[in-house]
Structure 1
Amino acid sequence: MNAKKWLTILAIVVVVVVFWSSGAQEYLTLDALKAHQQSLDAWIVDHAWLAVGGYMVIYIAVTALSLPGATIMTLAGGAFFGNVYGLAAVSVASTIGASIAFLVARFLARDTLREKYASTVARMDRGIEKDGAFYLATLRLVPAFPFFLINIAMGLTAMRLRTYALVSWAAMLPGTFVYVNAGTQLAQIESTGDIVSADLLLSFALLGLFPLIAKFVVGFIRRRRVYAGWQKPTSFDYNLLVIGGGSAGLVSAYIAAAVKAKVALIEQHKMGGDCLNTGCVPSKALIRSAKAADTLRHANRYGLEAVPVKGSFKAIMDRVQNVIAKVEPHDSPERYQKLGVDCISGHASFVSPWELEVTHSDGHTERLTARSIVVATGGKPAMPPIPGLAEMEPLNSDNLWSLETQPERLLVLGGGPIGSELAHAFARLGSQVIQVEMADRLLMKEDSDVSALIKSQFEQDGIDVRLGHAAKEFAIEDGEKVVYCEHQGERVRIAFDQVLVAVGRAANTRELGLDKIGVETLPNGTVPVEEDMSMRYPNVFACGDVAGPYQFTHAAAHQAWYAAVNGLFGQFKRFQVDYRVMPWVTFTSPEVARVGLSETEAKEQGVAYEVTRYGLDDLDRAIAESADHGFIKVLTQPGKDKILGAVVVGTHAGEILAEFTLAMKHGLGLNKILGTIHPYPTWNESAKFAAGEWKRAHAPQGVLNLLEKLHGWRRGKDTKESRSVYAPD
């Protein structure tokens, strides 16, 4: 940072410190305005132009430095100068002040931001060039957005100053008028009887209605703008068209059919999507086989004779396919057709916001129209651009299930949930697993104590965990597959037979023709969505992996409800998706289940919290099953039992977590869990015992001391006397 920037920062700091230390903020209050109204009115009459000029200078300074008091200054403009002159003074001063703040933010941070995040800034600038003026007007029209944040944020973009100033001035004008007009009425209050005057009530009504009116106007303008150039059909083939037959698409179609809407579901591959065919169902079937193998191998834990595990890997994979086949009817075209859904096998791409071109499996094409369209095309494994990786014919969570021969040496690239689940399963089935993760721990979204426990268990089960290893190059040397990793500045060679890549997922949006309707995808293929799950157009929605931010089957189903309901009834009422209580489970052994904040997230967000911990080695059911390892950790508000987050690490963690999820969803605290009867001996007793740990830590010691004295008095004993200790002769 150069000297000019440091001097600018120093000047701002000095002015702000002087402002607060001098008590100037006390003059920018409604009480101060009323207290000095008469004397200021008299002075303004004799010094009108000086008063207007001085007022504007102060207003510019307050706005430019983001100091508190802009609202009071606006009311003062109406109180002292009336509607016409007050509106002129405030609108000009606020625009100048906002522009100065805009320029200062640009001068101080724009270059640094562009250097560190070049690609992000470039994408942001393209969006600003295309829609910046409209979005700025939207933000200015709705008073819920703090204007000082808008000034700073826009200064970091490539928007031209002239555009910023003109749009800000025009968009702030309606709100400025409302506040200035209110100021003219407040200036007339001399007694309580004036409070109920018609003019004053009208001013307050305008203040209350303005956000609603602004929201309606913004929505109307936005709809007109995004649909400009498109010809809306006069009639439609369907109420709802759904692209993708995975979890999100199936739920969307089901909801539409349930409310008797005409709906079609278009799927180009297999119904059920990733979850049924390559994700949740097959992976959990494989994990169960691996758990059975581990149980046999360690039968001595249960007083039995441990036996060597022998079996056909092909038989295991055949069982996986049988499980898929057994679940498949739940997601079949036949079932959904009976529910009233038109199931179409083919590929769809956008023609307009209401029209899709569908290429059927038999090759013929047709165009279908609908009032609303839902994109739910799911995701696919991401492949990192590492030299030589493609030549290794890598496995991933999609093609893994066609394996018939078990890899003797399996390299797992990635330490997230998918990589960890599959690494542990294959290790328990007898493969020699090397897990490579470039970060310093596994499961980076969890707390470090969770990661440490999982790593310890992996190593006990024979997994060679390589943390801090970044894969740089794959090669075949003397007929052997190898990967070269960088670790602490050194080049590390690892040999393997097959590699499984699990470093994240990308959305399936490339062939949807989204560019034809002006929708740009993010680097991972996902599309930006609003809180009602719409993307750019109020009638086009996305849910599931294509929308993010979560890539869970249950999150996709959750989003699908909002997409379907808003698509069918959004003209009457729109619902905003609620992510406040989103649980997830990583199916390693032990399982890792979490809902709400982790300790790491709480610290990063500055959220105050307390931690209650309960070890599952204390749980009778866990001891009986020789599974007495793991813990429950609950974050609560300091001094209160309100749950901010919970993590369970152990056997049946996913089931135990449900109680905490329910409590968070419905605002129940740990005291409610403690007061609930839990059958004995069950795994869910652990939730009650965790609540009991919190209760003991927050027991009212003063009350307990008084009760101790009361009980001693009732026994006729002096509570001050020392307790006798029995000792045999």
Structure 2
Amino acid sequence: METRHFDYVVIGGGSAGYAAARTAKETFDNVAVIEDAEELGGLCILRGCMPSKTLIYSAEVLHLAQHGEKFGLKVENARADMKALHERKLVTIEDFSSYRREQLKSDRFHLIRDRAVFVDEKTVELKGSGERVTADYFMIATGSVVNTPDVAGLRETPHWTSDDVLDLDFLPESVIVLGGGIVACELAQFLNRVGTKVTQIQRSSIVLKETSPDAAEVVMKAFRDEGIDLHTDTSLESVAKEGEEYVVRFSENGESKEVRAAHLFNALGRKPNSAKLGLEKAGVETKKSGHIEVNDMQQTANPRIYAAGDVAGPFEIVHLAIMQGEVAAGHAAGKSVTPVDYDGKTAVVFTDPQIASAGISLAEAEDRGIAVVVADYPFDDHGKSILMEAKYGYVKTWADKASGKLIGAECVGKDAGELIHAMAVAITLGAKPADLLKVHWYHPTLSEIWSYPLEDLVDELGS
């Protein structure tokens, strides 16, 4: 059986894997990338960030057109052309995926299109060819896969995943969305806005548990105002297909309920793609969740094997996956590298209103025993958001009472994902609220809304 040896082997060609391969190539001569997906590019480009945000933005434009009377406009017969939406998405993501393909197929790397499984601590077997590959260092960046939890009938009932929703070229009449996480909420609102009757069922009392309860409440109100039939605090009992309809039975506040629709979308989360890698033979340990255990340099229990991105966690965020991949490859190369600083992380949910955060959350601050001062300000009392009819939400900032430095911020509202970066920069650089009040906050802009809670923080901190 043939065996090939490389200096550095990356398993997975997505954002974390490509970042690691690119960084490793700065030091190592012989770098290989093993990828078994039919298409090269990774989750973000092909079936995640880029296609979803392309479709979501189109749906936002349609939503504004359909509510043109709020702006003194008459836009007649505004509707979605699903085939055109689909085609625009394909063209858009091709721009990104073609670049990634070119990079992976370039002579910088040895690209191996096969599935790798560890057979010992320094060897993987390629399941297609039977060939074996050894390396001085391995990087595992296999991402995540759709989770199908144990709900009676769900596994046996054909259903959509996010891949299917992102690939639609027709308008579904009605859809039941199972789940209330980021993917579920973003795509439920997309479907609703293009004209589908949406019923969404969330098991916990709020959607978007990854965010704050205050933020989730704003989004839930917006969803219900837009006509989404949102059920929370439920217990799923069964899923079935009866004739041409999907039927979901569940209890809500102790009451048995049943909903029917033409389609069913399982959006009950994703799980790390770690189960079929033979990790136990490589001496790599995993958590109960399936995430690979790593240290702050992304090393696994086997110091020659690293992991990064969704398969390692702790967050499913692309820029963090890239940073992790760079740290891991740099460390393997013997460079002096700094671990990823999660205290400065940013996160965005692309619902409308959007939810964005920077720094550590109020809950995290409390867990660490950090005394904070907090201030907020609503969008419905702010000039630019009022004239834009963008009145949902608020901005909120908090500072460490002892040092006076900003340590966290949250924005729920129009273009929150853009607005949050003003606070992300401030938090990363260790700025105080008084420092930010030296900034020329232009009027009228959405960004100037930050100045109001900052003024309150200055008053409370005394400087």
- Give the conservation status (yes or no) of the 8 Å contact 2:8–2:28: no
Tell me the secondary structure at the aligned position of residue 390 of structure 2.
coil
Deviations 1:166-225 (A, max 9, x none): xxxxxxxxxxxxxxxxxxxxxxxxxxxxxxxxxxxxxxxxxxxxxxxxxxxxxxxxxxxx
User: Equivalents in 1 of 2:442, 2:254: separation in Å?
Assistant: 55
1:184 aligns with none
Q: Report the number of matched residues.
A: 460
2:123 aligns with 355
Q: So what's the TM-score if we normalise by structure 2? A: 0.93
- Give the conservation status (yes or no) of the 8 Å contact 1:392–1:498: no
Q: Mapping of 1:113-128 within 5 angstroms?
A: none
What's the offset of the Cα at 1:637?
A: 2.0
- Give the conservation status (yes or no) of the 8 Å contact 1:268–1:347: yes
2:12 aligns with 244
Unaligned runs of 5+ in 1: 1-234, 701-729
Q: Does 1:416 align with 2:155?
A: no
User: Equivalents in 1 of 2:320, 2:16: separation in Å?
Assistant: 8
**Structure 1 letter corresponding to 2:17:** G
What's the offset of the Cα at 1:244?
A: 0.2
User: Equivalents in 1 of 2:287, 2:403: separation in Å?
Assistant: 41
**Aligned residue among 342, 346, 354 for 2:110:** 342
Relative to 1, partners in 2 of residues 1:644 and 1:339: Cα closer, same or farther, differing over 3 Å? farther
**Aligned residue among 635, 645, 669 for 2:408:** 645
Q: Does 1:677 align with 2:454?
A: no
1:309 aligns with 78
1:437 aligns with 202
What's the offset of the Cα at 1:604?
A: 4.5
- Give the conservation status (yes or no) of the 8 Å contact 1:236–1:371: no
* More strand, by proportion: 2
**Aligned residue among 254, 258, 278 for 1:513:** 278
Deviations 1:115-145 (A, max 9, x none): xxxxxxxxxxxxxxxxxxxxxxxxxxxxxxx
- Give the conservation status (yes or no) of the 8 Å contact 1:441–1:448: yes
Q: Does 1:455 align with 2:207?
A: no
2:160 aligns with 395
Q: So what's the TM-score if we normalise by structure 1? A: 0.60
**Aligned residue among 631, 636, 643 for 2:399:** 636
Deviations 1:647-699 (A, max 9, x none): 00111111111121122222112222211224444332233343223234455
Larger-gyration structure (1/2): 1
**Aligned residue among 49, 62, 65 for 1:296:** 65
1:615 aligns with 378
What's the offset of the Cα at 1:630?
A: 2.0
Q: Does 1:529 align with 2:297?
A: no
Higher relative contact order (CA 8 A, sep 6+): 2
Relative to 1, partners in 2 of residues 1:394 and 1:524: Cα closer, same or farther, differing over 3 Å? farther
What's the offset of the Cα at 1:624?
A: 3.5
2:351 aligns with 588
User: Equivalents in 1 of 2:15, 2:319: separation in Å?
Assistant: 8
Tell me the secondary structure at the aligned position of residue 247 of structure 2.
strand
- Give the conservation status (yes or no) of the 8 Å contact 1:590–1:650: yes
1:668 aligns with 431
- Give the conservation status (yes or no) of the 8 Å contact 1:380–1:398: no
**Structure 2 letter corresponding to 1:650:** G
Q: Does 1:692 align with 2:451?
A: no
Tell me the secondary structure at the aligned position of residue 392 of structure 1.
coil
1:319 aligns with 88
User: Equivalents in 2 of 1:339, 1:260: separation in Å?
Assistant: 14
Q: Does 1:271 align with 2:271?
A: no
Unaligned runs of 5+ in 2: none
- Give the conservation status (yes or no) of the 8 Å contact 2:298–2:308: yes
- Give the conservation status (yes or no) of the 8 Å contact 1:239–1:568: no
Q: Does 1:256 align with 2:24?
A: yes
User: Equivalents in 2 of 1:412, 1:398: separation in Å?
Assistant: 14
What's the offset of the Cα at 1:236?
A: 8.3
Tell me the secondary structure at the aligned position of residue 415 of structure 1.
coil
Tell me the secondary structure at the aligned position of residue 25 of structure 2.
helix
Q: Mapping of 1:682-721 within 5 angstroms?
A: 682-698=445-461
Deviations 1:338-375 (A, max 9, x none): 4712222111122333322234xxx4343222211100
Deviations 1:75-118 (A, max 9, x none): xxxxxxxxxxxxxxxxxxxxxxxxxxxxxxxxxxxxxxxxxxxx
User: Equivalents in 2 of 1:306, 1:598: separation in Å?
Assistant: 41
Once superposed, what is the RMSD of the aligned Cα atoms?
Answer: 2.2
User: Equivalents in 2 of 1:487, 1:621: separation in Å?
Assistant: 39
Deviations 1:617-668 (A, max 9, x none): 3443323423243211112123753122110011111111112112222211
**Aligned residue among 378, 381, 390 for 1:627:** 390
What's the offset of the Cα at 1:565?
A: 0.8
- Give the conservation status (yes or no) of the 8 Å contact 1:278–1:398: yes
User: Equivalents in 2 of 1:547, 1:262: separation in Å?
Assistant: 25
- Give the conservation status (yes or no) of the 8 Å contact 2:239–2:248: yes
Q: Does 1:555 align with 2:320?
A: yes
What's the offset of the Cα at 1:568?
A: 1.5
Relative to 1, partners in 2 of residues 1:618 and 1:490: Cα closer, same or farther, differing over 3 Å? closer
* More helix, by proportion: 1
Q: Does 1:281 align with 2:86?
A: no
